[in-house]
Structure 1
Amino acid sequence: MRIIRYIGDDGAARLAAVTDEEQAFPLRSPDFMALVREADEAGITPLEAVRRQIAGAQPLPGDWRELNLLTPVDAPEVWAAGVTYERSKEARNEESKGAATGDETFYDKVYRAERPEIFFKSTSARTARPGTPVCIRSDSDWQVPEPELGIVLDRGGRILGYTVGNDMSCRDIEGENPLYLPQAKIWRRSCSIGPAIRLAETVPNPYDLTITCRIYRDGQLAVNESANTGQLRRKLDELASFLVRDNVVFDGTVLLTGTCIVPPDRFTLQPGDRIEIDISGIGTLINPVAAADAAIQD
């Protein structure tokens, strides 16, 4: 069972449940965290709460993917974990020229360390919803999407569900100096999440999800790469535990768990490109690409 959020005909945000048969049923709960709180108060799972709400209901007409989708949760904050896959470690070493020396780099060290790399990524105001543009910086010449599994958390770090995330990254800025990481990661619309949240209790094994990234340029497929979350070095609850440790975490926070898909040959995004990130069982997050200094209206 998946949860989506969309703009209704009256202009208000609505919540719906999407079944494995791709039928969408309207929910009474105003938002995802309200649904979770209602379930907790009733002593049932969010899945059971959804089942009770949609029992006997009529599905929404048409294809839910054609709705005016919002991010599935209005995430007050988005955080991200880095160097959680071996391919990510290799890419960070390549962009920083660290691999050329043959010496152990700090990327090598954090990959095997007990403490993961976790950094602040976005706020709801900076996060693009499905179908709207993500942006590229004006002062970077090497920018890529980073397709990632996102975990949706409550304030205590409980994993409530899974979503698709795009952790946009400037490889040249981070490669120049790791202290530039905030500028390499955070700018206007440098993040996108959606199109749905797969409820945690409906995912038998989150370490067996296929992630695919496709990038189209001028209507032609320019990048088509796939990976599996089984390649993730760390456990998801481990990452969540480090995020909430001595920290204030808000209900509905999303933690992106790292990428193992790196476009080849110094590929860089351009305005007009189209990014599609698919995770099996969750859905496909689609965003066009625009310049960060362009006039963007949502």
Structure 2
Amino acid sequence: MRIFRYIDENGNITLAAMNDQNHMFPLAYRDFLHLVEEAEKQGVTPLTLVQQSIQNTSPLETSLEQLQLLVPIEAPEVWAAGVTYERSRDARNYEATGGKLDAKTFYDKVYDAERPELFMKSTAARTIGPDGELYIRSDSNWQIPEPELGLVLNKEGKILGYTAGNDLSCRDIEGENPLYLPQAKIWKNSCSIGPVIRLAETVQDPYSLQITCKIHRNGEKMVEGTANTSQLKRKYDELVSYLIRDNIIFDGTVLLTGTCIVPPNEFTLQDGDQVEIEISEIGVLSNPIRQRVKQTASVS
């Protein structure tokens, strides 16, 4: 069962559920967290509550692609894990050494260390949903999407569901100096999640999800890559345990679990590109890329 939000014909924000037959049903809950809260009050699982709610409801007479989708949850914070796949480690080494192949750096230590790399990626105001515009950072010349599986958490760190995420990243800024990581990761519209939240209880094996990323330019496919969550170096519970350690997280926090798909080193996003991230059992998160006017810092 997948949960999503959309704007109906009357302009109202509506929560809805979609079953595995792709039948969609509106739900009488404010948002995903309200659904989870009501399930807890009634002593049932979110899936059971959804099934009860749609039992005598007619499905929507439309398709998901025809709806005006919103971000499936207004996550107060989006965190991300880095160097959780071997491919990500190799790409970060390439950036940090100025393009040396098979180079070894501190990223190898992170990959093998007990403690994972975790960093703040976004907030609700910076995070967009399906079909929303992702912005190219104006002071970077080497930017790529990072397709990732996202964990939707409650404040105790319980995994409530799974979604797709795009961790837009500046490889040149990150490679110039690791202390520049926040600037390489965080800016307006640098993160997207969606299109739905797959209820955790309905995913049989979260370590066998297929991830595909396609980038189109002027109608032509420029990049396509595939990976599987079975390639992940760390377990989800391990990542979550470090996130909540001596920390406060909020209901609806999303933790992106890292990427295993990296475009060729000569590739950078351009204005007008279209990025599609598909994760099996979840769906397709699609976003256009836009170049904003370059902004320079003023010196007084």
- On the 8 A contact 1:70/1:130 being kept in 2, the answer is yes
Q: Distance in 1 between matches of 2:257 and 2:292?
A: 25
Distance 1:238 1:291 in 2: 37
1:218 aligned partner: 218
- Percent sequence identity is 62
Note if contact 2:94-2:101 (Cα within 8 Å) is conserved in structure 1. Answer: no
CA contact (8 A) 1:98 1:105 kept: no
Structure 2 match to 1:130: 130
Question: Per-residue displacement from partner, 1:29-48 (whole Å, max 9, x unpaired)?
Answer: 11000000111111111100
After TM superposition, list the pairs within 5 Å mapping 1:134-213 onto structure 2: 134-213=134-213
Q: In 2 relative to 1, CA 170–99 (structure 1 residues): closer, same or farther, beyond 3 Å?
A: closer
Aligned amino acid, residue 4 of structure 2: I
Give the 5 Å matches for 1:240-259.
240-259=240-259
* RMSD between aligned residues: 1.4
Alpha-carbon contact 2:3-2:18 (below 8 Å) kept? yes
Give 1:100 deviation, angstroms.
Answer: 4.0
Q: Distance in 1 between matches of 2:90 and 2:98?
A: 9
Q: Distance in 1 between matches of 2:201 and 2:118?
A: 25
Deviations 1:219-244 (A, max 9, x none): 00000100000000000111111111
- 8 Å CA contact retained: 1:189, 1:292: no
Distance in structure 2 (CA, Å) of the matches to 1:6 and 1:293:
30
Partner of 2:268: 268
AA matched with 2:82: G
Shift of 1:65: 2.4
Greater Cα shift, 82-91 or 261-270 = 261-270
Give the letter aligned to residue 205 of structure 2.
Answer: N
- What is the DSSP-based 3-state SS (H/G/I as helix, E as strand, rest coil) of the residue aligned with 1:87? helix
Counterpart CA distance in 2 for 1:102 and 1:214 is 26
1:92 equivalent in structure 2: 92
What SS class does the counterpart of residue 90 from structure 1 fall into? Answer: helix
In structure 2, distance between residues paired with 1:65 and 1:72: 14
SS at 1:107 equivalent: helix
Q: Which moved more, 1:170-179 or 1:236-245?
A: 236-245
Q: CA distance change for structure 1 residues 27 and 101 in 2, over 3 Å: closer, same or farther?
A: closer
Contact 2:128–2:189 (8 Å) recurs in 1:
yes
Find the aligned partners of 1:290 and 1:272 in 2 and give their Cα distance: 6
User: Residue 74 of structure 2 aligns to which amino acid in structure 1?
Assistant: D
Match of 2:286 in 1: 286
Q: Which amino acid in structure 1 is aligned with residue 85 of structure 2? A: Y
TM superposition score normalised by structure 1: 0.96
TM-score, normalization by structure 2: 0.95
**Residues of 2 paired with 1:78 and 1:112: CA distance?**
24
